Amino acid sequence: MSRLLWPAAILLLVAVMLLSLAVGRVWLPPSAMIDGLLAPQPNLASLILIELRLPRTLLALIVGLTLGLSGAVLQGLLRNPLASPDLLGVSSGAALGAVIAIYFGLASVFPLATPILGIIGALIAGLVTFTIGRGGTLTLILAGVAVTGLASAGLSLALNFAPNAFAAFEITNWLLGSLAERSWSQLLLATPFMLAGMACLIVNMRALDALTLGETQAASLGIDLDRARLLALLGTALAVGAATSITGGISFIGLLAPHLVRPFVGHQPSRVLLPAALFGAILLLVADIATRLIPTDQEVKLGVLTSLVGAPFFFWLVLRLRRTSP
Amino acid sequence: MTRLTAEALIVTRGGRPIVDGVSARLTGGMFVALLGPNGAGKSTLLHCLAGLMRPDVGRVLLDDSDLKTYDLRSLARRRAFLPQSPRAEWPISVERLVALGLTPQLPAFGGLPVAMAARVTEMLAQVDLLDRRDQPATTLSGGELGRAMLARALVGDPDMLLADEPLTGLDPRHAIDGIVRLRGLADAGKLVVASVHDLTLAARFATHIAMICDGQLIAFGETATTLSSALLSRAFAVDACISGAGTPIAVVDFVAR
């Protein structure tokens, strides 16, 4: 079963990426893509492909990888199947940071302000959750709820004082989360941060495995727990902060992806990481394709769709936890 | 030979001394049964001896160097630690659980080298869990999990094992098996320190007795000469009758005073 996971994941990822390039208001089958690229430039097909579909697809890929990976690392680190960047308040913190950058016009003066403030927001939120939520599933989730509440209050405050109705609409719309109409420059701006974040998350593999035995035994096996926590926090903040600052809020991908792959890799935390990242990307690409296919006047926002699909899964997870824990 | 020396250890929590001036010289070949009433400071002392907790005052020397001068990994290769009722947090296979004991020997990435996989199999055979190797560790019974954790602790061939109540929750048969294994390690030259509540088992199999009372080490020495009814009376407030301490047929009986 586990031997089939890798080829299946990669095949599926390539397939949904091609589909993501093809699907939209204008249907571009592979033949049309190739014709467009070979025909004299500029032409409509190649413009759609290169300026719209390709950045959107690549953004979905890297944001999906980021969310899946950080979910898997947080669940492994905290040995908590409910841990994920959105439930721990990291995503809300990032959204608040990014909104501050947009709201005060920093983003238009200095483009890096959005990802940087997103990362700072994520870092502060994560730090607060980790610090006050130490000591168990319940306290951690509660701390995440509290931090999310605080960040939401900050966002509401920004809306409250929005200079005009249009600005308020802009912010709300952005918060819903989407990959549409993101430019190459936005993608290139955030990608280095996301890659750096993923690097911080990946180096934790041995620590996550050892933590299967609990913190005391992991420490006795030579694992530096403080370093592992710091790297996970920094990695999540960099990756999710930068991702959220471009896409707005996209929830449940980080929660869901690790659960999909865990049974196939024998539940070993380190082996969950990379497949979870791949499935994060697949889930996000599928959801993004779905937003383009659902025939509504206004495109359904990606963040709305992932929540609609992810929330029932969360219910299922809670029910399962209720059965397995005393 | 491994030497572990505690020098005047003091650990204070909330203004109260948990460990209060403990000094002891332990060497390879000893199986020290750490005895004492609940809350006497056995766990805290074990954590200090394992280098998992820094004493507020005093130091612990492994051979001739302070524990805090060792880096985490090289210390982890020499010392194994088993906390009280250890458990697996994910349903990984028994084989993988045991292999986690090799973490300090492994590079940062990559799978388990072949030679180490053979070592894991050998350990599984030693604790009679070969037929359970692919079973999720979370489905093992208490005794089986205890054996799996012991295999996990010993798979890296450490010089010393510190175990916090390794016999708790085991039925008489498994408790005897467990303590015989600990004694076997000491006979093979390793240092074993384990907190134990079963006085008869301690009297039969421990080479040395260390009695902790209110954070103080009130007695430490060979089982035959140290374990006395006066000591048990002082530590546990019981009237005790001991016969054959330090031999395989020792019996400790006691009534509340």
Best A2, A82, A213 residue to mutate vs chain B (most B CBs within 10 Å): A213
Q: What mean pLDDT comes out for the span A276-282?
A: 96
- Residue B30's contacts (CB-CB under 8 Å, 6 or more residues apart) are B186, B191, B192, B193, B207, B208
Buried residues in A211-241 as b, exposed as e (16+ CB within 10 A): bbbbebbbbbbbbebeebbebbbbbbbbbbb
Q: What mean pLDDT comes out for the span A223-239?
A: 92
Q: What mean pLDDT comes out for the span A256-281?
A: 93
What pTM value is reported for the model?
0.91
CA distance A252 to chain B (A): 21
Please list every residue in chain A whose beta carbon sits closer than 8 Å to the beta carbon of residue B71.
222
Please list every residue in chain A whose beta carbon sits closer than 8 Å to the beta carbon of residue B104.
221-222
Domain spanning A55-324: which CATH class is it, in words?
A: mainly alpha
pLDDT tens figures, A134-192: 766 678 888 999 999 999 999 999 888 887 888 888 888 888 988 888 889 889 999 99
Three-class SS state of B191 = strand
> Is residue A6 very low, low, confident or very high in pLDDT (cuts 50, 70, 90)?
confident
Specify the pLDDT at position A2: 65
Cβ distance A268 to B92 less than 8 Å, yes or no, reads yes
Closest chain B CA to residue A210:
B100
- B3-13 and B16-27 as β-strands: parallel, antiparallel, unpaired? antiparallel
pLDDT tens figures, B204-229: 999 999 999 999 999 999 999 999 99
Mean pLDDT of chain B: 93
Percent of chain B with pLDDT over 90: 81
B51 closest CA partner among B132, B158, B172: B158
Best A202, A211, A221, A223 residue to mutate vs chain B (most B CBs within 10 Å): A221
Specify the pLDDT at position B179: 94
Q: What mean pLDDT comes out for the span B167-196?
A: 92
DSSP string covering B95-149:
HHHHHGGGGGGS-SSS---HHHHHHHHHHHHHTT-GGGTTSBGGGS-HHHHHHHH
| A23: its two tokens | 């699907």
> Is residue A34 very low, low, confident or very high in pLDDT (cuts 50, 70, 90)?
confident
Specify the pLDDT at position A137: 67
Instruction: Name which residue leads in pLDDT, A50 or A197.
Output: A197
- Say yes or no: B101 contacts chain A, CB-CB below 8 A: yes
Specify the pLDDT at position A151: 94
- Say yes or no: A209 contacts chain B, CB-CB below 8 A: yes
Q: What mean pLDDT comes out for the span A11-23?
A: 94
Specify the pLDDT at position A168: 85
- H/E run at residue A323: helix A302-324
Answer whether residue A1 shows pLDDT above 60: no
Specify the pLDDT at position B20: 94
Provide the residue ranges of all domains of chain B, joining segments of one domain with +.
3-256
- Say yes or no: A223 contacts chain B, CB-CB below 8 A: yes
Answer whether residue B76 shows pLDDT above 90: yes
Provide ipTM, 2 decimals.
0.91
Domain spanning B3-256: which CATH class is it, in words?
A: alpha beta
Cβ distance A203 to B108 less than 8 Å, yes or no, reads yes
pLDDT tens figures, B152-168: 999 999 999 999 999 88
Provide the residue ranges of all domains of chain A, joining segments of one domain with +.
55-324
> Is residue A325 very low, low, confident or very high in pLDDT (cuts 50, 70, 90)?
low
Mean pLDDT of chain A: 89
Q: What mean pLDDT comes out for the span A277-281?
A: 96
Q: What mean pLDDT comes out for the span A85-95?
A: 91
Specify the pLDDT at position A42: 80
Q: What mean pLDDT comes out for the span A246-250?
A: 90
pLDDT tens figures, B90-135: 999 999 999 999 999 988 777 788 888 999 999 999 889 999 999 9
- Say yes or no: B140 contacts chain A, CB-CB below 8 A: no
Please list every residue in chain B whose beta carbon sits closer than 8 Å to the beta carbon of residue A209.
100, 103
Closest chain B CA to residue A79:
B89
- Say yes or no: A137 contacts chain B, CB-CB below 8 A: no
